[in-house]
Amino acid sequence: MATSGSSAADQAHPSGSPPSGARGLVLVVEDERAIADLLRLYLSRAGFGVHVATDGESALEAVRSVRPVAVLLDVGLPGIDGIEVVRRLRAAEDWTPVLFATARDDEVDRVLGLEIGADDYITKPFSPREVVARVKAVLRRTSGPADAGRVLRVGNVSLDPGARRVYLGSDPAQEVELTTTEFDLLAHLMRRPARVFTREQLLSDVWGYAATLGTRTVDVHVAQVRAKLGPSSPIRTVRGVGYSAEPPAPSRPAGR
Ligand code: CA
């Protein structure tokens, strides 16, 4: 099957505009072209954007450049295999959800026996419905951006992505007014609690790849969010790296 028939939403461009796909972008890592094309078809029909990588090295690059909501990862790949890909991701503190695609029982045993931080596995041959259901299940469990209606909570702060509202506390909750960009920045961090984002990643993820702004822009918006949320602000500065969302430690000054 030729890929020329795929829609624009299927294509991700590491250096272009952020890919569309209402449910987010899934990275499919598969060296067999026919299987990759089928997966692209199933997932894009279900509303996902799809980016395909055909070996382990380019998969690692793609996780960094296209920032998928989940990775559907073949175990048997040329070069570094799927298991090694996950090992390297987790070693780099990258917790992007991974769903392994295994072709044989011995691969299932390896995947299960290694406890390397895969989120699920699926055995070939798979049906379209099964693939889509399992990807959605992984995203539900890992509370990825596909859960647009789910209220995110970190510490004392609640964020409702659907209603675009932010609250402090719960009884009673106090609404905090954020600008669009402040909201998007906070939501991005809160979707993946404890994951550290560099300023460059945040610029690209929140402001878009076309942003010609300097990374100082990120610092300015972080400062604005902190000023509005006060001591409850979940944004933590990771010195020399960037920012993450974590409940503020009581012993630390807010925002450190
Ligand atoms: Ca393979």
The enclosing domain of 163 has a CATH number of: 1.10.10.10
84 vs 194: CA distance, rounded Å: 23
| Residue 12 belongs to some domain of the structure | yes
Q: Are residues 64 and 106 in the same domain?
A: yes
pLDDT tens by residue, 102-112: 887 777 766 66
Which pLDDT score is estimated for 231? 93
Residue (of 111, 127, 131) closest to 119 by Cα position: 111
- pLDDT band at 4; cut points 50, 70, 90: very low
Is 6 buried (19+), middle (13-18) or exposed (0-12) by CB count in 10 A? Answer: middle
Cα of 66 to ligand 1 centre, how many Å? 22
pLDDT, average across residues 35-55? 92
**Same-domain check for residues 132 and 20:** yes
Q: Are residues 205 and 159 in the same domain?
A: yes
Residue 217 one-letter amino acid: T
Structure tokens that stand for 198 in this block: 């560099």
CA of 164 to the centre of ligand 1 (A): 41
Residues 135, 156 within the same domain:
no
pTM of the model: 0.51
Average pLDDT, the chain: 81
What separation in Å is there between the alpha carbon of 122 and the centre of ligand 1?
13
User: Residues 221-252: pLDDT tens digits?
Assistant: 999 999 999 999 999 999 989 999 998 876 54
From residue 153, give the alpha-carbon distance in Å to each of 9, 48, 90.
30, 25, 24
| 254 in any annotated domain | no
Report CA(146)–ligand 1 centroid distance (Å). Answer: 27
User: In the block, which residue shows the tokens 């990807």?
Assistant: 135
Going from the Cα of 114 to the center of ligand 1, the distance in angstroms, rounded, reads 19
Q: Do residues 160 and 238 share a domain?
A: yes
| Ligand 1: centre distance to CA 101 (Å) | 9
Segment 69-106, tens digit of pLDDT:
899 999 999 999 998 999 898 788 787 888 888 887 77
3-state secondary structure of 240: coil
Q: Could you tell me the distance, in angstroms and rounded to a whole number, from the CA of residue 59 to the centre of ligand 1?
A: 13
Location of structure tokens 């859960």: 147
106 within a domain of the structure (yes/no): yes
Of 39, 107, 103, which is closest to residue 68 (Cα–Cα)? 39
In a domain, 34, yes or no: yes
Domain coverage including residue 202: 152-245
Domain count, the chain: 2
Q: How far is the CA of 32 from the centre of ligand 1 (A)?
A: 6
Residues 42 and 80 in one domain: yes
Within-domain flag for 107: yes
**All residues at 6 or more sequence positions from 97 whose CB lies less than 8 Å from its CB, including other chains:** 69, 70, 71, 119, 138, 139, 141, 142, 144
Q: What is the CATH number of the domain that holds 16?
A: 3.40.50.2300
The count of other CB atoms within 10 Å of the CB of residue 238 is 12
In a domain, 224, yes or no: yes
